[in-house]
Amino acid sequence: MAPSALVVTGHGINCEYETKFALERAGFQKVDLGHLNFIVSGDVRIDEYEMVVFPGGFLDGDDLGAAQACVNRIKCSVVDGERLLDKVIRFVDNGKLILGICNGFQLLVKLGLLPALDSDYSQRNFSLTGNDSGRFEDRWVYLTVDPKSPCIFTRNMTRVYLPVRHGEGKIVALNEAVLNDVMNNGQATLYYTTPDSNEPTMRYPWNPNGSSLAIAGLCDPTGRVFGLMPHPECYIHRTHHPRWTRENLPEEGDGLAIFRNAARFLS
């Protein structure tokens, strides 16, 4: 049976249609757009879906910091007498999937859903802050996948080429201990690397934001909650590649595999 997905929209999210297209190309049969207001009011119910995606954009204009205003909205919202955040955590406990892309990744991290060390979704021990370059970065980056990561979204993937578009993409940890835990658990799923190496790099512009240990994406201990700063929905077809007229490229872009892995897992 083909799986279903909800793509969250509203309040400055601006990649919802690209994300919907990627999910449909990957094999999701039902893909709906759900406005944050209707999720908060209970008119759109996340438990009716098998996957929820928080796409990129500029939630609430990034007031209070990237995605922070929406973090406050979700934490303060009560639906049917239950905190919305508790409903989201139960969604994960029920074996379902959550994907956060760029602004959506910032949201998941600041909610405490990533990396959720020891499966504790109530503690926030990572954050994202301004790029070391001091400016918005819009470029394509090379990424390598940690082979020991439990992440279901990156199964059978080793190297990825995707665009980044962000001003606050630098991943920082509360302390050295939690950073080491994430590394040792394989929860640091993606790393920035150079064009000719699979080793993580801190060199600009290959690491576009100065992220700690070159981390570009995180998953929770189950591997079913995943967030990344690059945009997989923006490289689904060869014509999305910046050099598609000059290079012999496969028909499918690197980003499609992330959505395909999700569809296979749920099927």
Active site residue 50: no
For residue 54, report the phi and psi dihedrals to the nearest 5 degrees. -105, 105
Q: Which pLDDT does position 91 carry in this prediction? A: 97
Q: Which pLDDT does position 63 carry in this prediction? A: 85
Q: Which pLDDT does position 185 carry in this prediction? A: 96
Active site residue 70: no
Residues belonging to the chain: 267
Active site residue 82: no
Stated pTM of the model: 0.97
Q: Which pLDDT does position 1 carry in this prediction? A: 67
- 86: tokens are 């508790």
In which residue are the tokens 């665009």 written? 163
* The one catalytic residue among 168, 219, 231, 241: 231
Give pLDDT < 70 ranges for the chain.
1
* The one catalytic residue among 102, 151, 219, 234: 102
For residue 207, report the phi and psi dihedrals to the nearest 5 degrees. -100, 100
- 89: tokens are 């955590």
Q: Which pLDDT does position 2 carry in this prediction? A: 76
Q: Kindly state the DSSP code that residue 221 receives in the 8-state scheme.
A: T
* The one catalytic residue among 166, 219, 233, 240: 233
- 4-266: which CATH topology? Rossmann fold (3.40.50)
What are 173-195's pLDDT values in tens digits? 999 999 999 999 999 999 999 99
Say which residues have a Cβ less than 8 Å from residue 177's Cβ, sequence separation at least 6: none
- How far is 153 from 227, CA to CA, in rounded Å? 10
Q: Kindly state the DSSP code that residue 175 receives in the 8-state scheme.
A: S
